[in-house]
Amino acid sequence: MLLHIIARGKIGRSPEADLVDRYVKRLTMPYRITELPEGSGKGGGGRLPPAGPGTITVMLDEKGRQLSSMDFARRIEGWRDNGARECRFLIGAADGFDDTERASADLLIAFGAMTWPHMMARAMLAEQLWRACSILSGHPYHREG
């Protein structure tokens, strides 16, 4: 299953970009990162690439559920084992997602009640994807308290 991070805004060369690179390079599942312009753009320039069959859509959103790392890993495992081809993780622009966009997602998740800049959210997501892969492979990186 492809893990696909789709984020609004450019991360550029930054400490956050270094963190994203550090974690995605460790993933044991294939991945892709797509950056979209901040706004939706005219003529489709900023629209999401079309989702094929077997695609799961997860939005990082302040109205989303807060999952433990174990729960997150189990969701990814379930989607993978049930034949999902791609799992998209959407990170919105400054204004987030509207209700129509939220309704189209399979899952909304939040990294706590605070609002995070898109660059930090991307780094945190990359780390949680690595953590999920390590949990699923039995790697000792994740420790339950």
Q: Annotated binding site for S-adenosyl-L-methionine: which residue ranges? A: 60, 92, 111-116
The two three-digit tokens of residue 20, written as one number:
């994203």
CA distance 125 to 140: 19
Binding residues: 60, 92, 111-116
Distance of alpha carbon 64 from alpha carbon 108, whole angstroms:
4
Do 9 and 118 meet the contact criterion of CB atoms below 8 Å apart?
yes
Instruction: Please tell me the distance from the alpha carbon of residue 126 to that of residue 20, in angstroms, as a whole number.
Output: 6
